[in-house]
Amino acid sequence: MKNRVVHSKSATLVALFLTALTTAALAADPASVGLPERSRQAEAGMTRHELVDADGVQLFVLSGPELTDAQIQTVAVVHRALKGWTNMSFSSMRISIPGTRAEALLVPDRYSSDGLDLTGYLPSGMQFYFDNGYLEYDFRMKVGTIFLRVNGPFIDEAQLTARVVTAARDPIRFLERTDPAYLYLTLQQVTETLNKLDQAQQDTVKSLQGLVSDYEGLKSQRPLLVSKLAEIDQEIDSTGEAIKKTDTTLTSAIDDLASALVSLNGQLAAQRDDLQKQLDGLRKEHEDLVAQVGKLKEEKDALSASHAAYAQSTGQEIEALRAAILTLHNTGFLSGPKPMDPQLVKRVVELKGATPTMTTADILTTLKAESIKASAKQVDAIVWTYFGL
């Protein structure tokens, strides 16, 4: 019954469109249908005609150099069908009509219904098609992260707006009712159920045929015939009840499946939220570890600086002690301790460090060759102080 009503509405709308086309068939230019042409210019190999209605709404029509009478009537029909909605208004419309088929695109300035602002769900506007007296719509909606395709024959504003509101409020349910894969699965289930019912009916027919055969053979046995007829009536009643129960079961199964899908979507969303919380926790732990590593690095740098200062101070103290020891050992028969020549100390350390097997005599021989004055006592004191030999 619902399909008959929809077809009836579609036929009425088509009749109205065809009537409008017939009554205005004599129009010679856009102004004759209340859409005077304001300007025209070339665009993408076609001509863009700028028309305007009495309310200042602009219609940008792409066609050949001149609009034909049929094209003007098509534009007028599309304009009348989409203008003056209760819940939607627009300031301009773009219509492409290379032949008789028109493609209209409008981006609503205002579109709301049932407490919802619907403009935000239509990122690319609303696309309509008019061909052979039929107006159809086919456009995309974006609800959260879900993209929905809304298409079908245009009946009236209320029917289309109701579909848009349904898609905005419950996109999952809308997909279930319009997605081809889901509908195909539902059709398969219905077909299987109908096949089972058909098999049951065939079995019932066979049973009835058997009963009829018995009836033919038992015409003379009225009491038995009455009993068989009662059995037939009972089986018919049982079959009817079975069909009703099966229909109820099928409807319930479809509703349960839809509820399960909605529940599953909710569970997936909850799991996604839990995973996001865990990820946020791990990020916080990572940031804390990075901060701790930074502090440890600062402490390490401070310790390194302290160690370097300590090493420098210790080296200076060791050098001072070595100089003091060498001064104490640098004495003569009649002279007291005096500082040892730093150049002599440096050269002896270089020679002994380069060749550890050099003896005091070897070092003295080298120093003499280099014109550096030194005694065996001084060389021994330097070697003992720096190398402990």
Tens-digit pLDDT profile for residues 352-377? 999 999 999 999 999 999 999 999 99
Higher local confidence (pLDDT), 325 or 27: 325
Confidence of residue 250 (pLDDT cuts 50, 70, 90): confident
Regarding pTM above 0.85, the answer is no
- C-beta neighbour count of 88 within 10 angstroms: 22
C-alpha dihedral over 251, 255, 257, 263, to 10 degrees?
-170
Tokens representing 268 are: 């997936």
Tokens representing 380 are: 């021994």
CA separation for the pair 204, 138 (Å, rounded) = 47
Least confident range of 2-16, 234-248, 266-280: 2-16
C-alpha dihedral over 228, 233, 239, 241, to 10 degrees?
-140
CA separation for the pair 165, 121 (Å, rounded) = 10
Confidence of residue 189 (pLDDT cuts 50, 70, 90): low
CA distances (Å), 58 to each of 35, 39, 51, 91, 258, in order? Answer: 9, 11, 6, 6, 44
Higher local confidence (pLDDT), 3 or 196: 196
The predicted structure's pLDDT at residue 192: 74
Residue 8 confidence (pLDDT) above 60: no
The predicted structure's pLDDT at residue 88: 94
Confidence of residue 225 (pLDDT cuts 50, 70, 90): low
Close Cβ partners of 144 (under 8 Å, ≥ 6 residues apart): 171
CA separation for the pair 199, 100 (Å, rounded) = 50
Q: Is the torsion defined by CA of 154, 156, 159, 164 positive or negative?
A: positive
DSSP secondary structure letter of residue 118:
G
**Is the Cβ–Cβ distance between 141 and 147 less than 8 Å?**
yes
Given 2.20.25, 1.10.10, 2.30.30, 1.10.3470, which CATH number is that of 330-387?
Answer: 1.10.10
Winning range, highest mean pLDDT, from 65-69, 212-216, 332-336: 65-69
H or E element in which residue 58 lies: strand 58-63
Residue 183 confidence (pLDDT) above 80: no
The predicted structure's pLDDT at residue 24: 40
- C-beta neighbour count of 363 within 10 angstroms: 21
Print burial letters for 307-326: b (CB count within 10 Å at least 16), e (below 16): eeeeeeeeeeeeeeebeebb
Residue 11 confidence (pLDDT) above 50: no
Confidence of residue 190 (pLDDT cuts 50, 70, 90): low
H or E element in which residue 15 lies: helix 2-23
Residue 195 confidence (pLDDT) above 80: no
Q: Mean pLDDT for the chain? A: 84
The predicted structure's pLDDT at residue 95: 96
Tokens representing 75 are: 């534009």
The predicted structure's pLDDT at residue 315: 81
Of the candidates 33, 31, 13, the one whose C-alpha atom is nearest the C-alpha of residue 73 is: 33
Residue 241 confidence (pLDDT) above 80: yes
Residue 64 confidence (pLDDT) above 70: yes
For the segment 274-298, the average pLDDT, to the nearest whole number, is 89
* Residues of the chain by 3-state class (helix, strand, coil), percent to 5: 65, 15, 20
